Chain A
Amino acid sequence: MKRGGLLWSWLWMILGILYFFLPLLATFMFSLKALKGVYSFKAYQNVFADPKFVTSFSSSVFWAILTIILGIIVFVPTAYWVRLKVPQLRSAVELITLIPFVVPAIVYVFGLVRTYSHPPLLIVNSPGLLVAGYTILSMPYMYRAIDTGLRAIDVQTLTEAAQSLGAGWGTILFRVILPNIRVSILSGAFLSFAIVLGEYTLAQYLAKPAFGPYIGLLIQNKAYEPAAATIISFALTWAAMGILDLIGRGRQPQLVGGH
């Protein structure tokens, strides 16, 4: 009986491992075949040498950093204030932070484009709209991470202690609260980073340079280069999630964004 159970476990585990690694193995093998007859990293060299790669990739990193900063600026004071002063608004705020789960990215960008492409609200071409959109997409994760961090510290006591030493709100937020929840903020930040870096829909429809649409374009025009770009993208997702895993061992499961 016990042995049968163990075999059963291994069977599913091996199937899982195959499912997980075979597509990556296939992509990796394919990415090495850019030169006829030999395995080489030519496809990677081509990708790294492509000015469009440099632009789109650095743009995505730039969007991700802005998204994280905007997220911290908007959500840290909000989550803090809700805990400290207006707990009665907690469920309203939480409900809003969860709305992105019921609005798929394509529907969301549909709404953004339709709302902001007519004068006087003609901001559809502004990079700010993309960053704001990304901040909304990552809001369920970012807000939750920050709120979890605040739960673990004594917001009330820290605030009163800082106030009695003469600190203003800015000092309290950025020199007392923020350093105390930096681990949570980091985990939210890395998740936002992974979401923004792989994101396709918003960047594509708001016509901004980004890594996702770039790989999409490669698939249409090249054979081996998209394989290399896919491996790069996977390695980055892996790095972001690996760091996330190290920061927040055993925390709540991370849900997904942007398929």
Chain B
Amino acid sequence: MARPALSRVSWAWLGIMPFFIFAFLFLLYPSSTLIIGTFKDSKTGVFTIQNLLNLLKDPYILGAYWLSIKISVVTALGGGIFGFLLAYAAIRGGLPRFMRSSLMTFSGVASNFAGVPLAFAFIALLSPTGMLTVWLKAAGINLYAQGFTLYKFWGLSVVYMYFQFPLMVLIIAPAIDGLRREWLEASENLGATTLQYWRYVAFPILLPSILGSMILLFGNAFGAFATAQALTGGQVSLATIVIGAQLRGDVLNDPGLGYAMAFGMVIVMTVVMTGYTILQRRAERWLK
């Protein structure tokens, strides 16, 4: 105990050096390559912010970011609302108890079932010859005649929802559990209607959790690549798809721009995770 502080500190540092070396080699250093590439002129090697400026005036890249943002917002809202209703129904909706544990297990599976197999499952369901398309056609609803296609924005959104709403169920469940039954009883005793209970009690308490979860869902969709790549063969220009194409062969004709684009994604994701953390901390005040 009375050992000199200095020697204790140096010993302690050595203990987690393997971790830091590992993280440096395979996470921090490759990430720093992106940052350095972003702020370096790819021909002369001098410091520049030109890559970022080019990024901000390239209509193709801005369009890709915008498409990624749109699909992330749509599926975060859709998946968030649907996932919330589903989780609430299973936890507080008066359904048999086994529904809850089944829903949680299904959600764990579905939120991890993504990428190429997910894309194919929806091809089997909703492509022009897919099962549901054929069923609906027999019932007099011709999806493709109405302008729907699986391989564009709305089709991709439907597919993304498959991993979005289960994620919502998983992360919102603790918040719904934290909603005490006494609060509902108390407001009922005070003569509140169901609507008033939701408007003045449950919703304000759940709001930070719901918003935080939806932000996480946004990030989840924003970074998604494999599903879209497998489904559309890279035909939908999401930000991740453009980065993938840039990596296969400099499609932007400017290596610096590729770095800036990847860097931009990290910035968006950092904002997302920060927002999630802040809202989660707020939400935890009620979850004790």
Contact = CB atoms under 8 A, between A and B. Distances in A.
Contacts of A255: 111, 167, 170-171, 216
B115 A227 contact: no
- Main SS at interface, chain B: helix
A108 B23 CA distance: 13
A48 B152 CA distance: 33
B13 to A, nearest CB: 7
B108 A241 contact: yes
- Main SS at interface, chain A: helix
B120 A111 contact: no
Which of A100, A105, A200, A256 has the most chain B CB within a 10 Å cutoff?
Answer: A256
Contacts of B31: 99, 103, 108, 111
Contacts of A16: 82, 86, 103, 165
B120 A219 contact: yes
A81 B15 CA distance: 6
A82 interface: yes
Interface residues of A, number: 91
Interface of A: 1-2, 5-6, 8-10, 12-13, 15-16, 19-20, 22-27, 29-30, 74-75, 77-78, 81-82, 85-86, 89, 93, 96, 98-116, 129, 132-133, 135-136, 139, 191, 194-195, 198-201, 205, 212-213, 215-216, 219-220, 226-227, 229-230, 233-234, 237-238, 240-242, 244-245, 253-259
27 contacts: A9-B89, A12-B89, A13-B95, A16-B165, A19-B165, A20-B110, A26-B130, A77-B19, A78-B18, A85-B11, A85-B15, A102-B272, A106-B225, A106-B243, A110-B246, A114-B37, A195-B112, A198-B115, A216-B230, A219-B120, A237-B109, A245-B104, A253-B173, A254-B170, A255-B167, A256-B163, A258-B114
Given A23-B162, A216-B230, A240-B112, 14 more contacts: A13-B90, A26-B131, A27-B125, A102-B266, A104-B265, A115-B33, A133-B26, A212-B115, A212-B226, A220-B233, A230-B117, A234-B113, A253-B173, A256-B220
